[in-house]
Structure 1
Amino acid sequence: MHKQLAFAAALAVSASFALPAAAQDTPQLDTVVATVNGTDITLGHMIIARARLPEQYQQLPDEVLFKGILEQLVQQTALSDSFEGDLPPRVELSLENETRSLKAGEVIERIMAEPLDEADVQAAYDSEYANAEPEQEFDASHILVETQEEAQAVKAQLDEGADFAEVAREKSTGPSGPGGGALGWFGKGMMVPAFENAVMNMEPGQVSDPVETQFGWHVIKLNDVRDTEAPELDAVREEIELQLRQTRVQTAIEEITSQAEVDQSAAEGIDPSVLQNLDWLE
Structure 2
Amino acid sequence: MTQRFTAMAAFAIALGTATPILADDTPTADTVVATVDGTEITLGHMILIRQALPQQYAQVPANVLFQGILDQLVQQTALADAYEGETPNRVKMALENEKRSLTAAEEVGKVLETAVTEEAIEQAYKDTYANAEEETEYKAAHILVETEDEAKAIVTDLEGGADFAATAQEKSTGPSGPNGGELGWFSEGMMVPEFEQAVMTLEPGAISAPVQTQFGWHVIKLEETRIKEAPALDAVRDELRRQVEQDVVKAHIDALVEKANVDTSASEGIDPALLNNIDLLE
Shorter-chain TM band: 0.7 to 0.9
Q: Counterparts of 2:46 and 2:250 in 1: how far apart (Å)?
A: 33
CA contact (8 A) 1:205 1:221 kept: yes
The structure-2 alpha-carbon separation of the partners of 1:230 and 1:120, relative to structure 1 and needing over 3 Å to count, comes to same
Q: Counterparts of 2:21 and 2:51 in 1: how far apart (Å)?
A: 26
- Counterpart residue identity of residue 168, structure 1: A
Kindly provide the CA deviation profile for residues 188-225 of structure 1, in whole angstroms up to 9, marking residues without a partner as x: 11111001011111111222222111122222121110
How many angstroms does 1:31 deviate by? 4.2
Q: Counterparts of 2:250 and 2:2 in 1: how far apart (Å)?
A: 35
How many angstroms does 1:40 deviate by? 3.2
Kindly provide the CA deviation profile for residues 1-32 of structure 1, in whole angstroms up to 9, marking residues without a partner as x: x6344444334456452324535686544444
Aligned pairs (5 A) from 1:67-106? 67-106=67-106
Q: Counterparts of 1:127 and 1:24 in 2: how far apart (Å)?
A: 56
- Counterpart residue identity of residue 88, structure 1: P
The structure-2 alpha-carbon separation of the partners of 1:281 and 1:203, relative to structure 1 and needing over 3 Å to count, comes to same
Hey, what does 1:193 align to over in structure 2?
193
Hey, what does 1:214 align to over in structure 2?
214
CA contact (8 A) 2:20 2:66 kept: no
| Structure 1 gap ranges (5+) | none
The structure-2 alpha-carbon separation of the partners of 1:29 and 1:158, relative to structure 1 and needing over 3 Å to count, comes to farther
What SS does the corresponding residue of 1:114 show, helix, strand or coil? helix
- Counterpart residue identity of residue 76, structure 1: Q
Hey, what does 2:163 align to over in structure 1?
163
**Higher mean displacement: 58-67 or 181-190:** 58-67
CA contact (8 A) 2:145 2:171 kept: yes
Aligned pairs (5 A) from 1:23-102? 23=23, 28-60=28-60, 62-102=62-102
| Structure 2 gap ranges (5+) | none
- Counterpart residue identity of residue 210, structure 1: P
Q: Counterparts of 1:251 and 1:199 in 2: how far apart (Å)?
A: 42
How many angstroms does 1:138 deviate by? 0.5
CA contact (8 A) 1:28 1:43 kept: yes
Residue 3 in structure 1 maps to residue 9 in structure 2:
no
Q: Counterparts of 2:31 and 2:173 in 1: how far apart (Å)?
A: 65
Q: Counterparts of 1:177 and 1:113 in 2: how far apart (Å)?
A: 53
CA contact (8 A) 2:140 2:221 kept: yes
CA RMSD in angstroms, aligned pairs only:
2.8
The structure-2 alpha-carbon separation of the partners of 1:161 and 1:24, relative to structure 1 and needing over 3 Å to count, comes to farther
Kindly provide the CA deviation profile for residues 21-65 of structure 1, in whole angstroms up to 9, marking residues without a partner as x: 535686544444433333333333233223322333435455544
Hey, what does 1:202 align to over in structure 2?
202
Normalising to structure 2: TM-score of the pair? 0.84
How many angstroms does 1:121 deviate by? 4.0
Q: Counterparts of 2:60 and 2:118 in 1: how far apart (Å)?
A: 42
Q: Counterparts of 2:201 and 2:116 in 1: how far apart (Å)?
A: 45
The structure-2 alpha-carbon separation of the partners of 1:182 and 1:273, relative to structure 1 and needing over 3 Å to count, comes to same
Hey, what does 1:254 align to over in structure 2?
254
CA contact (8 A) 1:20 1:33 kept: no
**Structure 1 residue runs of 4+, over 6 Å off?**
none
- Counterpart residue identity of residue 9, structure 2: A
**Higher mean displacement: 265-274 or 214-223:** 265-274
How many angstroms does 1:237 deviate by? 3.5
Hey, what does 1:280 align to over in structure 2?
280
**Higher mean displacement: 234-243 or 192-201:** 234-243
CA contact (8 A) 1:195 1:213 kept: yes
What SS does the corresponding residue of 2:244 show, helix, strand or coil? helix
How many angstroms does 1:240 deviate by? 3.1
Q: Would you say how many aligned residue pairs link Structure 1 and Structure 2?
A: 281
CA contact (8 A) 2:16 2:66 kept: no
Kindly provide the CA deviation profile for residues 57-104 of structure 1, in whole angstroms up to 9, marking residues without a partner as x: 435455544343333222222211111111221111111111111111
Residue 136 in structure 1 maps to residue 170 in structure 2:
no
**Higher mean displacement: 234-243 or 175-184:** 234-243
